[in-house]
Amino acid sequence: MTAFSPSRKHRALGLTDSEYELIVELLGREPNDVELAMLSLMWSEHCAYKHSRKLLRRLPTTGPHVLLGPGENAGAVDVGGGLAVAFKVESHNHPSAVEPFQGAATGVGGILRDVFAVGARPIAVLDSLRFGEPITSDRSRYLLERAVAGIGHYGNSIGVPTVGGEIYFEQSYEQNCLINAMCLGLAPRERLIRSAAAGPGNVVVLLGALTGRDGIGGASVLASAELGDGDEAKRPSVQIGDPFSEKKLMECCLELLDRDLLVSLQDLGAAGLTSAASEMASKGGVGLDIDVSGVPLREPGMEPFEIMVSESQERMLCVVEPERVGDVVEVCGRWETLATQIGSVIDGELVRVLDNGSAVAELPVSVLVDDCPLYDIAPEPPAKPVYASPPAALAGTESPAELLLALLSSPNICSRRPVFEQYDPVVQSRTVRRPQEADAAVLQLPGGSAIAVSIDGNGRRVACDPRAGAAEAVYECAANLACVGAEPLGLTNCLNFGNPEKPHVAWQLTEAVEGLARACEELGIPIVGGNVSLYNEAPNGPIFPTPVVGIVGSLPDAARAGRSGFASSGDAIALVGPFEPSLTGSELAKLRGVSPTGPLPAIDPTAVRAAHDAVREGIRTAVFHSAHDISEGGVAVALAECCIAGGVGATVQLPEGIDPFAEAPGRAFVVSGPPSALAGFTVIGEVGGDALEIAGQLKLAVSAMREGYDGVLAEVL
């Protein structure tokens, strides 16, 4: 083995001494500077998943509707009528913590490219966001304002509606905000395309924007280590987005696919040309030549390694048969999109980087993609609580009415309207249910059917009990689809955790993956793709373990999509599902300053699935006039939200022994409908009047509840 000095530059690029030794052993020599830069990114946590890949093998990935599964730019499911829906969620956490506007904006841009890279036209975006406490933290207010502005800027400009999402605020996200963006797109089944390069002699063409120094070492490096002091210096590593360039690139790529001009297509995301080229070669079992002298540059004098690792946005890489290059260039010219021949597919399994024909890097595809060591993490449950108790906002002596108002006006429950009003939810004219009209977004398909989509997660409850809390995220997201009448078809996830090299974080990650796997198996929902974001940790500690799940489902009749608000005075109100709520990890516990400790109550998956089926059928047959799942704030908040959304009151009597503020996410629902139709369920009251009255506990006017519910984020933003 070639000797090397432990002081060499590999450490500065994030490679350990043992990893560098392995590279030298695999190559039979030391890598040059270009090769080392490429390997450092491909062997980073963000690209290699070296602490999570073994765990991810536990997740179920097959199902009757799956067309594309994990490993492609996005997963895809069959929604009937010859159509496919492609979807994926990814994180842009670390860049957004450094520069929130561009970090969030380019997070949206990146997930859009993942979807049209498989041939699907993006039709909707959802966002799952986490910040510190916005009322007491200037930093968290700044991150919230700028991230929301960045999401709106990119989505609104490119003409893709933001139809839903979620936002939570906890101390643990003060230094590490989470920006998870989900996109779904629609395509004819036959237009779906994979990213595998093929055909030695075929041409490699770079599409889109100029390549610059912005984003060098961006997502791939920022997301592979903890943030600490001096992060202001990392701002140049954050990518800069241009949604108008991406719009032209998107339309160009979709026309190229419509005309069957491409062999394969790949987004340039983290690690730029290095990742795109090596992954396309690996999937196709071929090699690639890339000549960096042909790459159009935004800045003169860029070195070959800079060109290969730049994460400049709005770029795609495609493989084209030589006789079709002219047609590709013609289409790109009409869309004002650069199309540049920068290489070719070759026999063998090498990625060769050339500069004016001279080799400056020559690496086996296997070393770039497959040979990074996968680590066995060492999970150990913590001996004592990891997270400090939050400041108490309540004294503990409030009346039930005061507690309900406090919950409705808390940042984690209050109306998200001030955020959603910055996004366009109806562009493209498919949106049947807008944000806050229903528990899931609903988008119409040709012929009158529809798809529904929701995104969910609760880091506080996962911190209490990682396995049960992660399972709850799946149950709650599926419950949201049931409330609009949709049947789940596939799931995508984003696993946001701290440093996996720490035993308690390794335990949280291991337990959460098992919880996700079991819940998906129990509900019969395959996982078609996703993302892992680790090292979300600052000197004051890790974030709450936050697995976020997004589920896409179908419903036969868009006109019958459910709503959450009570619809008609005189309707009966009923509880559906196994309802044994607990205050553990609840929003009320947080307001009282209780730290997140578990375990959570046991879940009966058979009863959960039966409840979802009953609610879905009740909405589809119009037996239920409304449906809303019981989550944060318990049944009292769920009832209040139904009243506020419907503009009408309700009078209820809760079953004996149920705390109105205890929570049971994902398994219990409040529904309303004609009294005769609800006779088989646990009827608890009636819709009507101008106040919510829970007999023997509280009575509040709908107007008073709405005032508290609407005010908090409006003041912050």
Among residues 10, 46, 153, 504, the one annotated as catalytic is 46
Mean pLDDT of 105-129: 97
pLDDT at 58 over 50: yes
pLDDT at 232: 45
pLDDT at 237: 57
Amino acid (one-letter) located at 463: A
92 counts as catalytic: yes
Tokens of 478: 């599926």
Q: On the CB side of 553, how many CA atoms lie within 13 Å of its CA?
A: 32
Distance CA 457, CA 435 (A): 17
* Residue 404: its H or E element: helix 400-408
pLDDT at 2: 43
Q: What confidence category does residue 223 fall into, taking pLDDT thresholds of 50, 70 and 90?
A: very low
Amino acid (one-letter) located at 548: V
* Burial class (CB within 10 angstroms; exposed 0-12, middle 13-18, buried 19+) of 338: buried
pLDDT at 407 over 80: yes
Residues 137-169 have pLDDT tens digits of 999 999 999 999 999 999 999 999 999 999 999
Distance CA 160, CA 112 (A): 9
Residue from 536, 665, 542 nearest 179 by CA: 536
Q: What confidence category does residue 9 fall into, taking pLDDT thresholds of 50, 70 and 90?
A: confident
Distance CA 350, CA 195 (A): 17
Domains defined for the chain, CATH in brackets: 193-221+230-371 (3.90.650.10), 400-716 (3.30.1330.10)
* Residue 432: its H or E element: strand 431-433
Amino acid (one-letter) located at 54: K
Mean pLDDT of 609-616: 98
pLDDT at 217: 56
pLDDT at 642: 98
- Between CA 182 and CA 7, with CA 221 as vertex, the angle to 5 degrees is 165
Residues 457-480 have pLDDT tens digits of 999 999 999 999 999 999 999 999
131 to each of 97, 100, 412, how far by Cα in Å?
Answer: 10, 11, 11
With a pLDDT cut of 70, the percent of the chain lying above it is: 96
pLDDT at 224 over 50: no
pLDDT at 711 over 50: yes
Among residues 10, 51, 65, 92, the one annotated as catalytic is 92
Residues 300-342 have pLDDT tens digits of 999 999 999 999 999 999 999 999 999 999 999 999 999 999 9
625 counts as catalytic: no
Residue 432 near residue 558, CB atoms below 8 Å:
yes
Mean pLDDT of 556-581: 96
pLDDT at 215 over 80: no
Q: How many CB atoms lie within 10 A of CB 171?
A: 21
Distance CA 524, CA 60 (A): 9
Mean pLDDT of 601-612: 96
Taking the model in full, what pTM does it have? 0.95
Q: What confidence category does residue 226 fall into, taking pLDDT thresholds of 50, 70 and 90?
A: low
pLDDT at 7 over 70: no
pLDDT at 228: 54
Question: Strand, coil or helix: what is 30?
Answer: coil
pLDDT at 208: 97
DSSP 8-state assignment for residue 663? B
Q: Provide the pairing of β-strand 287-291 with 339-346.
A: antiparallel
Residues 497-540 have pLDDT tens digits of 999 999 999 999 999 999 999 999 999 999 999 999 999 999 88
Average predicted confidence (pLDDT) for the chain:
94
